[in-house]
Amino acid sequence: MAPETLSVPAVTTDLSGFGLLISDKTSKTDNGIYVLKRKGRTNEQAAKDLADIILKHSKLTAEQVIKARTTAREISEIYSWRNIIKEYKTAYNEAVKRINLKIK
C-alpha cells in the first residue's frame, strides 16, 4: 500500500472496534482520525456531528492539514494488521486455552 493512502484523515465511530480502540488515544485537536459519537445518539444527532466534523476539517489551515495527515498516518501504522496481529493471536490462544480447560 502506498504511504500516501495511510495519510488520509478519516472518520470512524464509537460503534466500531477501531473507533473504541483509538477514542481515548486521540484528542479533539489532532484531526487525524475523528471518532463520531454514536452510542445513545439519534441518527439526526450523529448526522449533525458528522457535518460539523466535515465543516471543521474543511476550515483547517494548510499547516493543520499536514498535521492531520501526519497524525492519520501515525495512527494507521500503530494499528496496522502487521502490528496488531500478535494481539489477535494472543487473544485467540487464550480463548482456546480457556475452552480446553472447561472441556476437561
Q: Could you tell me where the beta strands, DSSP code E, fall in 1-104? A: 10-13, 33-36
With 60 as the cut, is the pLDDT of residue 4 above it? no
pLDDT at site 26: 65
With 60 as the cut, is the pLDDT of residue 1 above it? no
Selected residue with higher pLDDT from 60 and 101: 60
Question: Do residues 45 and 54 lie in contact, with contact meaning Cβ atoms separated by under 8 Å?
Answer: no
With 80 as the cut, is the pLDDT of residue 11 above it? yes
pLDDT at site 100: 86
pLDDT at site 102: 81
Could you tell me if residue 94 is left (phi over 0), alpha (psi between -120 and 50 degrees) or otherwise beta?
Answer: alpha
| Residue the block writes with cell 479533539 | 28
Q: pLDDT per residue over 22-67, tens digit each?
A: 887 666 556 788 999 999 999 999 999 999 999 999 999 999 999 9
Report the chain's mean pLDDT, rounded to a whole number.
86
Q: What residue spans define the domains of the chain?
A: 7-79
The alpha carbon dihedral of 33, 9, 65, 76 has a sign of positive
Separation of CA 33 from chain center:
6
